[in-house]
Amino acid sequence: MYGICKLKIFIRHSHGVDPRYSGACAHPPRSGWRPLHGVTTTQGAVLPQPIRCPRKENYKSQYAPRRPVRRRKAAPQNSSRAGVSLSPWRARPLRKSRAGAGGPSAPAAMALVATVAALLAALGGALWLAARRFVGPSVRHGGGDSGLMHGKTVLITGANSGLGRATAAELLRLGARVIMGCRDRARAEEAAGQLRRELRQAGGPGPGSDAGEAGEAGELVVKELDLASLRSVRAFCQEMLQEEPRLDVLINNAGIFQCPYMKTEDGFEMQFGVNHLGHFLLTNLLLGLLKSSAPSRIVVVSSKLYKYGDINFEDLNSEQSYNKSFCYSRSKLANILFTRELARRLEGTNVTVNVLHPGIVRTNLGRHIHIPLLVKPLFNLVSWAFFKTPVEGAQTSVYLASSPEVEGVSGKYFGDCKEEALLPKAMDESVARKLWDISEVMVGILK
Ligand SMILES: NC(=O)c1ccc[n+]([C@@H]2O[C@H](COP(=O)([O-])OP(=O)(O)OC[C@H]3O[C@@H](n4cnc5c(N)ncnc54)[C@H](OP(=O)(O)O)[C@@H]3O)[C@@H](O)[C@H]2O)c1
């Protein structure tokens, strides 16, 4: 009982209380503060019960009720505890009778509205998907002209899969001689064979073979290029310079995404090494050929995820700490800074360079991402519904490689075949210059 006094409500024992209860305790008022409960103060506030008198004999006084009595609400007549009317006239559950008198209750109406809304959304989604899938992807690069790239040589890195493969197919259809720069010859040959078959099935005249046999729809050539090896990049470029008289378009497309910490043959962090440094060396070694083939174009495939990256010059190899998402974003930011610096250096040469983001595309890029087995079907469904197909994703690459609309345009960032704004960190000229200088040293152009 004393615990009740822990409410710590102290009022003066005989001062400040309602006169009716001034005798709640028969003991003479004492000086100091005492706990007293269940009385009305002169200010009108009722203090909690029970009254506790410090002297035990007065505890049960008539002014001090022992315990507050909690009264139960009386049960309604003719009803049982289960809420069912016992009256022969009202044999329905009470809840229902309360709701049913004047039409549907608010929760029922809300459920109805929610069901109708869900059905409408599902119907709309199905129609949208049907339109997207069965009407076919919108080709926005305006490349209906099958001869647009006739006589032009295009090099695409990572052309055996995803965006690179779709870009190769489209440029082949436009009549280009397409060189597929791939790290795995067997995979590249397989992709090349499929592309040729697809083109024939689509009613095209059929591209030439690896050996260089000419075909009206263009020509496919497979060459080995591993961007994770500077030795391979050098060997590839040497072969290109020896065998190819011209290079009209270079598409830096190959990429690796959020892999575990790995190093390239030369000891660079893998994503920075492949996505930026490998392409940096490749482009620099082919610049002479591009200049001699001018007007020529360089197209760089970056990503919107550049926004989450920063160029941390102190740890470009991520030896102090490694975060796979950050490193991917950093490599894609490096792609943009490289493009802008190269555009500045190429002014007046008639060689243009632009960078793009393809959107979110359903490709093999996420091969290093682990998706739990149970979630996979859902992920596949969502990606099927909402991601771009490789053909859709390749539209901006094809546009920048072939469209007359971007003749002479350089140093710009594109998405969905339109120029887009960049964040200030991607336009920082001093960072771009510093990155260029450091990259030159890293790949061994400058010792
Ligand atoms: N998919 C998207 O949603 C998306 C979004 C934004 C940006 N991107 C960018 O788009 C580009 C193409 O990616 P994707 O989506 O088409 O992915 P993908 O299907 O995985 O294609 C990537 C290509 O890069 C090649 N590659 C990887 N490492 C290489 C290396 N060391 N040397 C040479 N080639 C190498 C791959 O060859 P293997 O087949 O032999 O591995 C493959 O051909 C990438 O730069 C990526 O960052 C894609």
pLDDT per position as a tens digit, 212-240: 444 467 899 999 999 999 999 999 999 99
The fold of 153-206+216-443 is: Rossmann fold (3.40.50)
Q: Give the pLDDT score at 314.
A: 94
Q: Is the pLDDT of residue 357 over 80?
A: yes
pLDDT (tens digit per residue) in 58-71: 444 444 455 555 65
**CA nearest to 434, candidates 273, 284, 314, 325:** 314
Looking at the whole model, is its pTM more than 0.95?
Answer: no
CA of 93 to the centre of ligand 1 (A): 65
CA of 233 to the centre of ligand 1 (A): 17
CA quadruple 159, 164, 169, 172: dihedral sign: negative
Q: What percent of the chain has pLDDT over 70?
A: 69
Burial class (CB within 10 angstroms; exposed 0-12, middle 13-18, buried 19+) of 56: exposed
Taking residues 313-329, report their average pLDDT.
95
Taking residues 84-94, report their average pLDDT.
41
Q: Is the pLDDT of residue 324 over 70?
A: yes
Lowest mean pLDDT among 87-91, 343-347, 357-361: 87-91
Taking residues 140-151, report their average pLDDT.
71
Q: Give the pLDDT score at 141.
A: 55
Residue 111 contacts by C-beta under 8 Å, 6 or more apart in sequence? none
Lowest mean pLDDT among 86-90, 202-206, 356-360: 86-90
Taking residues 293-322, report their average pLDDT.
96
Catalytic annotation on 2? no
Where do we find the tokens 């503060």?
Answer: 33
Burial class (CB within 10 angstroms; exposed 0-12, middle 13-18, buried 19+) of 438: middle
Q: Give the pLDDT score at 434.
A: 97
CA distance 246 to 240: 9
Lowest mean pLDDT among 92-96, 368-372, 431-435: 92-96
Q: Is the pLDDT of residue 54 over 70?
A: no
CA of 39 to the centre of ligand 1 (A): 80
Name the residue type at position 85. Answer: S
The residue ranking higher by pLDDT, 201 or 321, is 321
Q: Give the pLDDT score at 147.
A: 78
Lowest mean pLDDT among 73-82, 224-233, 254-263: 73-82
**CA nearest to 237, candidates 89, 443, 9:** 443
The set of protein residues with a Cβ atom below 6 angstroms from ligand 1 is 157-158, 160-164, 182-184, 187, 225-228, 253-257, 274, 301, 303, 357-358, 360-361, 363-365
> Pocket of ligand 1, candidates 183, 356, 379, 395: which has the most ligand atoms within 8 Å of its Cβ, to mutate?
183
CA distance 297 to 281: 17
Nearest CA, atom 6, ligand 1: 303
Q: Which of the residue ranges 9-13, 146-150, 357-361, 384-388 has the most confident prediction, judged by mean pLDDT?
A: 357-361
DSSP string, 315-378: GTT--S---HHHHHHHHHHHHHHHHHHHHHHTTTTTEEEEEEE--SB-SSGGGG----TTTHHH
* Ligand 1 atom with least separation from CA of 366: 20
Q: Give the pLDDT score at 122.
A: 74
Taking residues 96-101, report their average pLDDT.
43
Taking residues 16-40, report their average pLDDT.
42
Lowest mean pLDDT among 91-100, 172-181, 303-312: 91-100
- Residues 328 and 258 sit within 8 Å (Cβ to Cβ): yes
Q: Is the pLDDT of residue 413 over 90?
A: yes
CA distance 104 to 377: 39
Q: How many CB atoms lie within 10 A of CB 419?
A: 13
Q: Is the pLDDT of residue 284 over 70?
A: yes
Tell me which of 306, 328, 399, 413 is the catalytic residue.
328
Q: Give the pLDDT score at 199.
A: 85
Confidence of residue 121 (pLDDT cuts 50, 70, 90): confident
CA distance 317 to 321: 9
- Rounded (5°) CA angle 151-153-154: 140
Q: Are strands 33-35 and 10-12 parallel, antiparallel or unpaired?
A: antiparallel
- Give the start-to-end residue ranges of the domains of the chain: 153-206+216-443
- Exposure pattern of 31-46 as b/e (b: 16+ CB <10 Å)? eeebbbbbbebeeeee
State the chain's mean pLDDT as an integer: 80
Taking residues 89-103, report their average pLDDT.
44
CA of 205 to the centre of ligand 1 (A): 29
- Phi/psi of residue 306, each to 5°? -55, -25
Q: Give the pLDDT score at 135.
A: 55
The residue ranking higher by pLDDT, 438 or 93, is 438
* Ligand 1 atom with least separation from CA of 304: 6
- Phi/psi of residue 262, each to 5°? -140, 160
> Pocket of ligand 1, candidates 155, 165, 170, 257: which has the most ligand atoms within 8 Å of its Cβ, to mutate?
257
CA of 180 to the centre of ligand 1 (A): 13
Taking residues 169-182, report their average pLDDT.
95
Helix, strand, coil % over all residues of the chain, rounded to 5: 45, 15, 45
